[in-house]
Amino acid sequence: MRMKIIDGKELAQNLRSEIAAGVASLKAQKGIVPGLAVILVGDNPASVSYVTAKEKACEQVGILSREIRLPATTLESNLLSLINELNADSAIHGILVQLPLPTHISEKAVIGAIAPEKDVDGFTPVNVGRMLIGEECFLPCAPHGIVKLIEASGINANGKHAVVIGRSNIVGKPVAALLARKETNATVTLCHTGTRDLERFTRQADIVVVAAGRPGTLTGEMLKPGAVVIDVGVNRIADSTRRKGFRLSGDADFESCAKVAGAITPVPGGVGPMTITMLLWNTLESAKRC
Ligand code: GUN
């Protein structure tokens, strides 16, 4: 069987065309233009590049992005006031605060201040709770994109064993929950830094989602032949031959994994474009509810 490269860019592009059509029709029918506030505190280079990509994607589909760049010294109280203003602003349907925040600001307080009906990242306790009990909510973007990517690649997760590596609130925990939902119906093992003998679990997996934030976490010898690898990692590796001085690498060692896997997402061009697309999707959904 040939190894398949799962093209997140292509699927994201198809979905973005659908979203653009939805945005145009909402404008024509109700005169509403979806608006997303994108808040970045500080100038972490990876975060700058993520929010720039999000803003560009908004423009591509006709969503209005309000870019709010704040200095790293911003007080938590000022950020909370800004969020309260955006909660009350009828032109804004989604609020995104790029994480991580500077350490003097409580992420818990900031995320908790976002109105759940504008929480297009799906990070507030209300939306996380709704997701866990199967109520309608904004699903977190990377986990939602991963499930869509798996489905669109013709991979049926029903009854399969999915091993998730990483227990972050942004990816690991929610993707484990979504894969275990009845609609997806996978049997899920959640591995993390406390897991002993990681390979013992990954070798039993039909699907491995690696979101550990560390390059080389998953190698080919840790896989069962034919397994599906979803690589969520985006790591900058110093590379003087590149214009920017670095190249991107996932958490999986692509070369060795590709020799054993049945399908694998590349980095870049796998999960990343889907994450941004699901943010656009949620913003359109939020505007439709007005
Ligand atoms: N930081 C890393 N991933 C994300 C994301 O999906 N949303 C936000 N707001 N911050 C992030």
The pLDDT assigned to 167 comes to 98
Tell me which of 51, 124, 127, 170 to substitute to probe ligand 1's pocket, judged by most ligand atoms within 8 Å of the beta carbon: 170
- Is the confidence at residue 1, as pLDDT, over 80? no
Pairing state between β 246-249 and 4-5: unpaired
Whether 92 and 145 map to the same domain: the answer is no
Domain that holds residue 206: 141-271
Is 98 near ligand 1, meaning CB less than 6 Å away?
yes
State mean pLDDT over 104-128.
98
For the record, the structure tokens of 146 come out as 């991963």
Here the CATH number for the domain that contains residue 107 is: 3.40.50.10860
Residues 246 and 192 in one domain: yes
pLDDT of 2: 83
Ligand 1 centre distance from Cα of residue 170 (Å):
7
- Tens of pLDDT, residue by residue over 138-183, are 999 999 999 999 999 999 999 999 999 999 999 999 999 999 999 9
**Same domain flag for 265 and 182:** yes
Dist CA 73 CA 194 (whole Å): 34
**For residue range 58-107, what is the model confidence (pLDDT) as tens digits?**
999 999 999 999 999 999 999 999 999 999 999 999 999 999 999 999 99
Can you tell me the mean pLDDT for 194-219? Answer: 98
Residue 228 within any structural domain of the chain: yes
How far is CA 33 from each of CA 94, 114, 120, 170, 267, rounded to the nearest angstrom? 12, 20, 16, 28, 32
Strands 187-191 and 161-165: parallel
Residue 268 scores a pLDDT above 70 = yes
